[in-house]
A and B are shown apart, each in its own frame.
Chain A
Amino acid sequence: MLLREDFEKRREALEFADANAWVGPPLEQGFQACESVAELNELLRRASVRRALVMHTACVSYDRAEGNRMTLEAVAGRDDMFAAIALVPDVSIGGYLDEAIARKARAVRLFPKAHSFSLAEWCAGAVLDEMLARRLPLILWHSQATWEQIHDICTGYPELTVVVEGAGRKILYDNRIFYRLLADCPNFHLELHNLTNSLAVEDIVARFGASRLVFGSFAPYHEPTAAMMPVTHARISDEDKRLIAGGNLRALMDAVRTGGGDA
């Protein structure tokens, strides 16, 4: 069988769920973007992605409230799409979060550098408490925080799922640091789109288990299949591949609930 056909079959079999998909104007110069969420959906479907967490780039680059509105509108009515929303420190967000969850929000990204706030407990603690109460996972770009801040959040909120994405700067240089976090913080996870170190999937699975890795592609800005082959062709068990490809993300999303206990 041709390598391409084999790759397609493996992708299809693993039921990928993508934690890192975007709509809206590109954040950086590129060759192709998606004009609409329908186009994004088609791109992901062709790549055999069955479910996606989507964020509108306006959440980062313009205004998180307006971006969240656009994100929630984009995923409405699409069974295979859910929303990642952006938050900033706010005195009362519980009601906002419950409404967002009812409209398919399943994760939160914080952008402390872009949005000028601190991740310290005295500034972001109230937001993290509300997220934790709703089992909303925190997704952070490593370029938006220091590793010390990430460590403090992981240890200060051990029940909060923290997923670090390698956007904005190469994360490969930091493997001596994030391996320490993998060892010490069971709630620390890594998303795959830019986790490029050779044999990273095999090595992390062997040392820390497959539950610590979450597939993400950074589609439509990156070719989604680039981050898929380190999973489809990893030298790990099929069960571990399924967890990384989509099982871990699905479990995180399915655990989200409102403050009243509904999702």
Chain B
Amino acid sequence: MLDIIDAHAHLGPWPSFEAIGSTVEDTVSLMDHLGVARVLTVHHAGLFGLLEEAARWSEEAYEASDGRVLSYLVYDPNRAAQSLSIIRASLGKPHLVGIKIHPPKHNCPADDERYRPVWELAREHGLALISHTWGRSADNPAQNYSFPDLFERYVAEYGEVRFVFGHGGGRCDGFLACARLMKTYTNSFMDITGDGFLRGRLKHFVREVGSERILYGSDSPWIDPRFTLGEVLGAEITDADRANILSRNAARLFGLGEK
């Protein structure tokens, strides 16, 4: 039986919608229902400057879930020193799987010099780095800060850092850009979170870059885990590709053994 790993989800409330299912209890309950062994989460609080709280709640989530809820900690370029201090204090702790950045939320383009410290930290300590990535948007121009092409500067310079294009670029233009970059930079991965369930996108990625660097993720509570799980199960890809996406790639990338 495949132990599914959800490589990108969230805990905690969000101001502009009712984040049903965002508690540790609800998360673990749904994991049990779907056969998800582990979930890698970002606590929403960390995206709003509540870095200490997010770190504490992330550690508590690990304990409350018997080690099944793991965490990325947020690097906020507007609170660089505090972010780095908190991440360093969590190094070696079992709940920490990597670092999350979010250029639109922090109003900082992905190629900005203010992100250099986190790439240095990731390289120094062998931490995975995941970012929100999205397509270009006229309605929400901050999303342009996370268009995949903007990450090339650091992905290229820091080839030792395992980088995850969270949401894989989010929209069709972003998906295409992400796939192009992944073909060149073998230290890059993508996850399938978000609401871009475009028919054929998984087939496109598997054809362009293979299935070994694609990660299943839910983006819960924004997206119910069953949407992208249903997409993977229905896509025109092989069962071996499915096993890679749902479990093996994340286990290898984050050093997660069988549980």
A194 vs B19: C-alpha distance when bound (angstroms): 16
Q: How far is the CB of A113 from chain B (nearest CB, A)?
A: 14
Are the CB atoms of A223 and B229 closer together than 8 Å? no
- The answer to whether B103 has its CB under 8 Å from any CB of chain A is no
Instruction: Kindly state the interface size class of chain A when it binds its partner.
Output: 35 or more
Proximity bits, A201-220, B CB within 8 Å = 1, else 0: 10100000000000000011
Q: Are A197 and B224 in contact (CB under 8 A)?
A: yes
Interface status of B235 (Cβ within 8 A of chain A): yes
Q: Which residue of A lies closest to B242 (CB)?
A: A4
Whether B18 pairs with A223 at a CB distance below 8 angstroms is no
Residues in B with CB closer than 8 Å to A3 are 2, 35, 233
Interface check B106, CB cutoff 8 A: no
Question: What is the size category of the interface that chain B forms with chain A?
Answer: 35 or more
The answer to whether A174 and B17 have CB atoms under 8 Å apart is: yes
B228 adjacent to A199 (CB under 8 Å): no
B15 to chain A, nearest CB (A): 10
B50: Cβ under 8 A from any A Cβ: no
Flag if B195 contacts A28 (CB, 8 Å). Answer: no
User: Does A230 lie within 8 Å of B230, measured CB to CB?
Assistant: yes
Q: Check if B201 is an interface residue, CB within 8 A of chain A.
A: yes
Interface residue? A233 (CB, 8 A): yes
Indicate if the CB atoms of B18 and A175 lie closer than 8 Å.
Answer: yes
Q: Is A92 in contact with chain B by the CB < 8 A criterion? A: no
In the assembly, what is the distance between CA of A30 and CA of B171, in Å?
A: 9
A28 touches B199 (CB 8 A): no
Q: Which 8 A-B pairs have the closest CB atoms?
A: A225-B234, A229-B230, A31-B200, A198-B21, A32-B200, A198-B221, A226-B197, A229-B226
Give A contacts to B, CB under 8 Å: 2-4, 7, 28-32, 43, 47, 169-170, 172-176, 179, 194, 196-201, 203, 219-230, 232-235
Q: What are 24 inter-chain pairs, A to B, with CB distance below 8 A? A: A2-B239, A3-B2, A7-B234, A29-B171, A32-B199, A32-B203, A172-B195, A174-B17, A175-B20, A197-B222, A198-B21, A198-B26, A199-B21, A200-B20, A220-B199, A223-B234, A223-B235, A225-B233, A226-B231, A229-B226, A229-B229, A230-B230, A232-B230, A233-B226
